[in-house]
Amino acid sequence: MSDAARDGGQDTRRDADEGLDSELIARWKSGDERAASALVARHASALARFAVASGERNEVDELVQDTFVRAFNSLDGFRGESSFRTWLFTIERRLLVDRRRSEKRRRDRVEIQEDDASTEYDALDGVVATETERRMRKAVSRLSPTQKEVFTLRVAEGLSYKEIAAAVGTTEGAARVHYHNAMRAVKEFLDE
Amino acid sequence: MSDCPNADVRDLLPDLLHERLDARTRARVVAHVDGCADCRSELELLRSLRGSLDRETPRVDVDRIVAALPKPGAVRPMERRRGWGGRVLSDWRIAAAVTFIVAGGTSLAVMRNARDGGRDSATTPAVGQVKSAATESTTNVPPLVPSGGVRSPAPNATRASVPVQPRPVKPSAPAVRDREEMASTDDQASALTNNRIGDLNERQLKSLLDAIEHMDATPITEPEPVTLRVGGRTTSPTGL
């Protein structure tokens, strides 16, 4: 199956999503504040998932908020060359990198350790992770940072390789390789 | 857990999970998954991973985020910022800016010199310099009108230069005398040289107005008749 055929098979819902985002952005620019609520509601969870999957455990709420504030302050610079969601991931990823750099200087960042697959959020949410789920999280946590980002965007958000490439600053081909390597690594870990 | 050899279908499993396939592609992938145990287990793994990530993620307070956002009218248009490593302005903008500065500076110098010239008769205004130099340089060409108001050229006046900075230049005695001769013999030339209509007397003004009235420098504003050739026949849009 060719890439064109594959992309053609994916376009329907994606186009509708992008069309709705564009409409909401236009409404917000023309003064409709409710459009901002709709945009945040549509994308906030995905940004939070990406942050958590990337290993962020502290102040996820603030990170997502900063991402939106930065995005809305720069909406005039959004040219629509990528989808709005992809653009948000790009901004969040930059914020994550900045945050890690500054945190590295101050204190050790809390990471998922081998014996710490269950996080404080599990307890807060009242969710008890099953053994299978713990192993899955552990498998993902062992991936390289880039593999983790690509894998999360593909599995949790359903982004295309083109969108992932734009979000993490790589090529479509490299994103595909990262995804399949990550999937193989996860399977191997779960089979152990 | 083994991998299905059909890499194309495996590639589309996340899209199937997120319902991002068109109907035709979806039907094809589903048909394959139904008959492939490896793909079914991989799809199930993807579903579990997605659910796990979802449960792991804390809830986000949408209202708080919206409250922190800028108001629609409060956002300034984003300026395109580039580092000095990039090109800040395009070439044509630089050229336009340089042209504007040079033209503006020259105009300013000419205006200031003209003003100084009117205030101080001992100094030569830049306009006067340009005009006299231009007049003198044109006289190098064999005159169309024999003698009269046209003077013979000064030997060293063929180069016309305009100083960028206005600075008072003390003219040589022959130059002053030459200009005085022009003023006395040719009112129109004097008016143009002095460039101050308020200083002209009645006779000079009348002469100037007559010259303007007979001036044949009106630009052509109407298009010239166009002859079209259609199918071998020559026609004119105006019907002439």
Region B6-18: what's the mean pLDDT?
Answer: 93
pLDDT value of position B146: 42
pLDDT value of position B199: 74
Out of A41, A152, A191, closest to residue B62 by CB: A41
List, for residues A82-118, the tens digit of each pLDDT value.
889 999 999 999 999 888 888 777 765 555 544 444 4
pLDDT value of position A187: 93
Distance from CA of A89 to the nearest CA of B (A): 16
Size of interface A-B (CB pairs under 8 A): 155
Q: Which of A156-160, B153-157, B230-234 ranks highest by mean pLDDT?
A: A156-160
Would you say residue B192 lies in a domain? yes
Provide, as residue numbers in chain B, all residues whose Cβ is less than 8 Å from the Cβ of A157: 18
Would you say residue B214 lies in a domain? no
Residue B226 scores a pLDDT above 80: no
Judgement on whether residues B136 and B192 belong to the same structural domain of the protein: yes
Judgement on whether residues B48 and B115 belong to the same structural domain of the protein: no
pLDDT value of position A182: 95
- Strands B228-230 and B233-235 turn out to be antiparallel
* Contact between B58 and A48 using a beta-carbon 8 Å cutoff: yes
Judgement on whether residues B102 and B191 belong to the same structural domain of the protein: yes
Would you say residue B72 lies in a domain? no
* Contact between B57 and A60 using a beta-carbon 8 Å cutoff: yes
Judgement on whether residues B116 and B194 belong to the same structural domain of the protein: yes
**With contact defined as beta carbons under 8 Å apart, do B123 and B112 qualify?**
no
Strands (E), B68-204: none
Judgement on whether residues B55 and B97 belong to the same structural domain of the protein: no
pLDDT value of position B24: 93
Out of B54, B65, B71, closest to residue A49 by CB: B54
Provide, as residue numbers in chain A, all residues whose Cβ is less than 8 Å from the Cβ of B17: 155, 158
ipTM above 0.85, yes or no: no
List, for residues B29-65, the tens digit of each pLDDT value.
999 999 999 999 999 999 999 998 888 888 889 999 9
- Lowest-confidence segment of A148-157, B101-110, B142-151 by average pLDDT: B142-151
* Contact between B20 and A74 using a beta-carbon 8 Å cutoff: no
pLDDT value of position B234: 54
Instruction: Report the residue count for chain A.
Output: 192
List, for residues A77-88, the tens digit of each pLDDT value.
888 888 899 999
pLDDT value of position B30: 95
Question: Domains of chain A (ranges plus CATH)?
Answer: 1-111 (1.10.1740.10)
pLDDT value of position B160: 42
Region A159-169: what's the mean pLDDT?
Answer: 93
pLDDT value of position A49: 92
Cβ within 8 Å of residue B82, ≥6 positions away: B88
Share of chain B above pLDDT 90, in %: 22
* Contact between B55 and A125 using a beta-carbon 8 Å cutoff: yes
Residue B157 scores a pLDDT above 50: no
Judgement on whether residues B135 and B41 belong to the same structural domain of the protein: no
Q: pLDDT grade, residue A130 (50/70/90)?
A: confident
Would you say residue B120 lies in a domain? yes
How many structural domains compose chain B?
2
Using alpha carbons, select from B75, B73, B60 the residue that is nearest to residue A70: B75
Would you say residue B234 lies in a domain? no
Residue B133 scores a pLDDT above 50: no
Residue B147 scores a pLDDT above 70: no
Q: What is the mean pLDDT of chain B?
A: 67
Chain B CA closest to residue A190: B1
Judgement on whether residues B112 and B197 belong to the same structural domain of the protein: yes
Distance of CA B144 to the CA centre of its chain: 41
Judgement on whether residues B31 and B108 belong to the same structural domain of the protein: no
Judgement on whether residues B35 and B137 belong to the same structural domain of the protein: no
Would you say residue B171 lies in a domain? yes
Relative orientation angle of helices B126-138 and B173-185, to the nearest 10 degrees: 80
**With contact defined as beta carbons under 8 Å apart, do B28 and B14 qualify?**
no
Using alpha carbons, select from B16, B79, B8 the residue that is nearest to residue B46: B16
Distance from CA of B42 to the nearest CA of A (A): 9
* Contact between B69 and A156 using a beta-carbon 8 Å cutoff: no
pLDDT value of position B76: 56
pLDDT value of position A134: 85
Residue B28 lies in domain: 7-59
Q: Give the containing element (helix H, strand E) for A189.
A: helix A172-191
Can you give the pTM of this predicted structure? 0.55
Region B9-38: what's the mean pLDDT?
Answer: 93
pLDDT value of position A118: 45
Would you say residue B110 lies in a domain? yes
Chain B CA closest to residue A128: B55
Judgement on whether residues B105 and B54 belong to the same structural domain of the protein: no
pLDDT value of position B127: 46
Helices (H) and strands (E) in chain A, counts: 10, 0
Provide, as residue numbers in chain B, all residues whose Cβ is less than 8 Å from the Cβ of A75: 75, 78
Using alpha carbons, select from A9, A15, A71, A76 the residue that is nearest to residue A43: A71
pLDDT value of position B231: 57
Q: pLDDT grade, residue A38 (50/70/90)?
A: very high
List, for residues B67-119, the tens digit of each pLDDT value.
999 888 766 554 444 444 444 455 667 778 788 888 888 888 888 777 665 55
Judgement on whether residues B38 and B130 belong to the same structural domain of the protein: no
Dihedral of the alpha carbons of B203, B204, B208, B211, in degrees to the nearest 10: 60
Would you say residue B104 lies in a domain? yes
CA distances from A177 to A52, A76, A170, A181, B90 (A): 22, 34, 11, 6, 39
CA distances from B203 to A32, B124, B207, B210, B211 (A): 71, 25, 6, 11, 12
Does residue B155 sit in helix, strand or coil?
coil
pLDDT value of position B82: 44
Distance from CA of A180 to the nearest CA of B (A): 8
B81 close to A (CB below 8 A): no
Q: What is the mean pLDDT of chain A?
A: 82
Judgement on whether residues B100 and B193 belong to the same structural domain of the protein: yes
